[in-house]
């Protein structure tokens, strides 16, 4: 396969580039910004870069399905070896391709300089054959011996068995296997269809077991459309029209849910941090346990784990005695105290730039190993760009317009850029939409207002947009007669923490329902709240009367609570109720904890205080811990925090797009370089003769001549520039830089040569 450029004069593409006007050259650099980094010295350098395989591959990622088919047809026609006509190209594409669509595709290829030339002589870069693949259009390599031969007439004379073999190869891959390819026999000795086709030259022998169908035969067999039926236009995307306010309100509910789950995850992992696997991920058991505690799906937990780690709210840290754990960081506390829209934008922004694929968690790799959340196997650096690509497709729809199925969007994106995304492209579209919906960036298949602003403007503006759609935090609750507490909206942070202490969430949604039980009241009392504190909470924050049954329950639990007091002897208990102490001594727990009486109202135990509390509570008693001052203290497991791990600063990938000023500067530099190549210097002074260099520059300044200097900047980068000197003195050349388009200063000691033009 030809993939070299020996056939072409080295200046052919450079000559084409020199003929382009400035607007066309700027359009090329806009479409292929990698060609401008660093700025090319002239058209010859630009032409060389434009033919590099890696650059051509990047440019082909932006081609739609039909334009890629046109490029494939050019390769099939051999335009990488010799110019071909547009008429020959049309014959390959078939009669169903409209002429205007072919012109548009050729213009797109010319704009990217993947092809160039006029309609009678079209040429493509040699690297295109390598990019398209070894069998462009599922055709084999051309056979030189069939050039100029009437292949159709040869096929017409073939017996059905031989024709059947050729048609099978023409309909699928052009390469097949056969034991009859061991050698090419004369036709009179060939006994099998494959052997006879090899003898006639209608098949090519690759090796002892492989044959290939030549391109000329495949084209002849396929009839009027040698490259098959082409999808000329983008498939229509079915969309549903929605009210944008409906989309935003639905997203607001999803935002509240994801924030609640994130808060619960941080709280749960503060007290029950999961272990870090040896492979660096999160174990299946810990994943399932967290999902049960959060009362959500495992996929939601995977997404939350990945996003909170990316946002710096969770990290892997070494913990004394427990090994390496997934722990919330000190950044979690200010995040929990922030406004809902600020918390959302932290999570959504981290997800948007997340170089990982949470959707891969739970799948299996090539060695049939299950991929764990937070493991290195989920890292895919190209994912942020692909994620934005999917969301940008939704952003192109009118506000409130949503897609009905992810598969429909995947089909459209596959047509727009068939070479982008790899084998996981369709899965990635579905995963992106699911994750964006869970985060409230997408709702009902449509991009939300906050999601649009996040993509186009940034986090700060997105937070403001979301804040306008989220319900305002409420500072009251509704206490019901059945011991439930209804929060008619998101609670203010301080009220939410108090309600969460005295009640458990029974159901969540637009209105959250909490249930009060004896266990939840004891939890509040254990944390140091008194019965009076709980009564005051409900009396001041409830918009409905506090039921009498609830008041009685609070008093009953408080009356029983704390009748036993523990301390450290290793631990001690004391109570004014001697009968209760006697009951305790008679209980089996007294044997397990080695309790003994040292005074009528005091028992001691060698068991640590926290363990003693757990044992007594599991036995049905309700002790509380007291401090040295006799006050009740909460000995619940302290909230654990890990320091933020030092990590490389996550900088956004530099934009490949060039500003109009940058484009103009690069174009001027290329034109200046072309001028240098076309002009022969009249005088030359090389480095080592500083006095002569200075004298020559002064002469050029007086005469108003331009000079061509070789210059090494402070970073050691060498370049050549055309400069019109304005002044020379003090060790500095001041002049107008033709390539840069402005006045510049050049220290004389950095100028290595001077040519007068």
Query: pLDDT tens, 565-606?
Result: 666 567 788 888 888 888 888 888 888 888 888 778 888 888
Is the separation of the CB atoms in 676 and 42 below 8 Å?
yes
Is the separation of the CB atoms in 185 and 199 below 8 Å?
yes
Query: pLDDT tens, 391-447?
Result: 999 999 998 899 988 999 999 999 999 998 778 888 999 999 999 999 999 999 999
pLDDT band for 649, please (50, 70, 90 cuts): very low
Highest mean pLDDT: which range of 328-342, 344-358, 686-700: 344-358
Query: pLDDT tens, 108-162?
Result: 999 999 999 887 889 999 899 999 988 888 888 888 888 888 888 888 889 999 8
Percent of the chain's residues with pLDDT above 70? 91
Q: Is 79 helix (H, G, I), strand (E, B) or coil?
A: coil
- pLDDT value of residue 568: 56
**Cβ-Cβ contacts under 8 Å for 91 (sequence gap 6 or more):** 226
Please count the residues of the chain: 757
- pLDDT value of residue 732: 86
- pLDDT value of residue 9: 37
- pLDDT value of residue 757: 67
- pLDDT value of residue 115: 92
Residue 7 scores a pLDDT above 70: no
- pLDDT value of residue 274: 92
**Cβ-Cβ contacts under 8 Å for 63 (sequence gap 6 or more):** 71, 108, 109, 417, 419
Calculate mean pLDDT across residues 348-355.
Answer: 94
Q: What is the CA radius of gyration of the chain?
A: 38
**Cβ-Cβ contacts under 8 Å for 379 (sequence gap 6 or more):** 355, 356
Query: pLDDT tens, 31-74?
Result: 999 888 888 878 888 888 898 999 999 999 999 999 999 999 99
Calculate mean pLDDT across residues 620-649.
Answer: 65
Closest CA to 324 of 274, 262, 392, 371: 274
* Secondary structure element (H or E) that encloses residue 222, with its range: helix 215-222
Closest CA to 255 of 428, 464, 467: 467
Is the separation of the CB atoms in 713 and 750 below 8 Å?
yes
Calculate mean pLDDT across residues 84-106.
Answer: 90
Calculate mean pLDDT across residues 383-395.
Answer: 93
Strands 565-567, 624-626: pairing kind: parallel
Q: Where are the alpha helices (DSSP H) in 11-85?
A: 12-19, 22-31, 43-50, 53-60, 65-76
Query: pLDDT tens, 677-700?
Result: 676 554 455 545 677 777 788 888
| φ and ψ of 624, to 5 deg | -130, 160
Of 163-167, 294-298, 522-526, 625-629, which range is least confident?
Answer: 625-629
Of 95-99, 470-474, 631-635, which range is least confident?
Answer: 631-635
- pLDDT value of residue 4: 34
Residue 650 scores a pLDDT above 60: no
Q: At 277, list the tokens.
A: 């696997």
Of 248-252, 378-382, 554-558, 629-633, which range is least confident?
Answer: 629-633
- pLDDT value of residue 716: 74
Calculate mean pLDDT across residues 271-297.
Answer: 90
Query: CA-to-CA distance for 698 and 325, rounded, in angstroms?
Result: 71
| φ and ψ of 577, to 5 deg | -95, 95
Beta strands in 133-194 (DSSP E): 175-177
Q: How many helices (H) and strands (E) does the chain have?
A: 31, 27
Closest CA to 710 of 756, 666, 754: 754
Average pLDDT along the chain: 84
Calculate mean pLDDT across residues 171-185.
Answer: 86
**Which residue's entry shows tokens 């098949």?**
203
Residue 721 scores a pLDDT above 80: no
Calculate mean pLDDT across residues 358-368.
Answer: 87
Residue 5 scores a pLDDT above 50: no
DSSP state for residue 214 in the 8-state scheme: -
**Which residue's entry shows tokens 């693949």?**
133
Calculate mean pLDDT across residues 251-269.
Answer: 91
Calculate mean pLDDT across residues 340-347.
Answer: 92
């Amino acid at each position: 396969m030809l993939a070299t450029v020996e056939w072409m004069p080295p200046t052919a593409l450079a000559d084409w580039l020199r003929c382009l006007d400035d607007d066309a050259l700027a359009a090329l650099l806009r479409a292929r910004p990698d060609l401008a980094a660093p700025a090319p010295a002239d058209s010859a350098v630009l032409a060389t870069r434009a033919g590099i395989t890696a650059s051509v591959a990047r440019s082909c990622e932006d081609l739609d399905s039909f334009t890629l088919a046109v490029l494939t047809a050019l390769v099939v026609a051999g335009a990488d070896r010799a110019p071909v006509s547009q008429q020959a190209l049309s014959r390959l594409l078939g009669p169903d391709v409209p002429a205007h669509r072919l012109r548009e595709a050729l213009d797109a290829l010319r704009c990217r300089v993947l092809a160039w030339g006029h309609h009678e002589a079209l040429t493509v870069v040699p690297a295109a054959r390598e990019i398209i693949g070894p069998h462009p259009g599922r055709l084999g390599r051309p056979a030189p011996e069939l050039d100029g031969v009437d292949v159709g007439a040869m096929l017409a004379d073939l017996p059905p068995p031989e024709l059947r073999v050729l048609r099978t190869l023409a309909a699928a891959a052009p390469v097949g296997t056969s034991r009859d390819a061991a050698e090419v026999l004369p036709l009179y000795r060939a006994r099998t269809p494959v052997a006879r086709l090899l003898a006639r030259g209608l098949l090519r022998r690759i090796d002892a077991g492989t044959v290939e169908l030549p391109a000329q035969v495949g084209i002849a067999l396929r009839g009027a459309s040698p490259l098959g039926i082409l999808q000329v236009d983008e498939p229509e995307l079915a969309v549903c029209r929605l009210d944008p306010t409906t989309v935003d309100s639905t997203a607001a509910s999803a935002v509240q849910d994801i924030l609640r789950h994130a808060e619960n995850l941080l709280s749960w992992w503060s007290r029950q941090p999961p272990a870090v696997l040896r492979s660096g991920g999160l174990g299946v058991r810990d994943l399932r346990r967290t999902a049960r505690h959060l009362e959500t799906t495992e996929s939601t937990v995977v997404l939350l784990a990945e996003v909170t780690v990316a946002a710096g709210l969770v990290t892997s840290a070494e913990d004394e005695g427990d090994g390496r754990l997934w722990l919330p960081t000190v950044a979690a506390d200010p995040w929990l105290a922030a406004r809902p829209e600020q918390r959302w934008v932290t999570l959504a922004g981290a997800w948007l730039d997340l170089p990982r694929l949470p959707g891969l968690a739970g799948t299996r790799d090539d060695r049939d190993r299950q991929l764990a959340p937070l493991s290195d196997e989920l890292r895919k650096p190209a994912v942020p760009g692909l994620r934005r690509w999917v969301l940008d497709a939704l952003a192109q729809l009118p506000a409130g317009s949503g897609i009905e199925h992810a598969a429909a969007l995947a089909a459209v994106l596959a047509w727009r850029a068939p070479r982008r995304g790899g084998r996981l492209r369709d899965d990635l579209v579905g995963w992106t939409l699911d994750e964006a919906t869970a985060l409230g960036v997408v709702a009902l298949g449509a991009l939300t207002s906050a999601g649009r602003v996040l993509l186009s403007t940034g986090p700060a503006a997105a937070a403001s947009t979301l804040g306008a759609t989220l319900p305002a935090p409420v500072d009251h609750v509704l206490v019901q007669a059945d011991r439930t507490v209804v929060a008619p909206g998101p609670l203010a942070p301080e009220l939410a923490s108090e309600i969460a202490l005295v009640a458990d969430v029974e159901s969540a949604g637009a209105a959250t329902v909490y249930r009060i039980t004896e266990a939840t009241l004891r939890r509040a009392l254990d944390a140091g709240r008194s019965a009076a504190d709980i009564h005051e909470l409900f009396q001041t924050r409830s918009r409905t009367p506090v039921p009498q049954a609830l008041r009685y329950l609070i008093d009953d639990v408080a009356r029983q609570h704390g009748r036993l007091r523990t301390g450290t002897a290793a631990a001690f208990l004391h109570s004014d109720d001697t009968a209760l102490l006697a009951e305790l001594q008679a209980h089996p727990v007294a044997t397990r904890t080695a309790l003994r009486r040292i005074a009528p109202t005091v028992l001691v135990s060698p068991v640590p205080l926290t363990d003693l509390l757990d044992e007594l509570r599991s036995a049905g008693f309700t002790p509380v811990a007291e401090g040295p001052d006799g006050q009740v203290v909460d000995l619940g497991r302290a909230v654990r925090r890990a320091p933020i791990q030092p990590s490389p600063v996550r900088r956004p990938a530099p934009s490949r797009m060039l500003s109009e000023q940058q484009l103009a500067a690069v174009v001027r530099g290329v034109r200046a370089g072309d001028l240098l190549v076309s002009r022969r210097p009249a005088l030359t002074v090389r480095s080592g003769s500083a006095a002569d260099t200075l004298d020559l520059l002064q002469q050029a300044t007086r005469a108003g001549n331009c000079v061509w200097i070789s210059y090494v900047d402070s970073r050691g980068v060498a370049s050549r520039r055309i400069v019109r000197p304005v002044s020379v003195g003090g060790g500095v050349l001041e002049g107008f830089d033709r390539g840069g388009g402005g006045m510049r200063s050049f220290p004389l000691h950095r100028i290595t040569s001077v040519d007068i033009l």
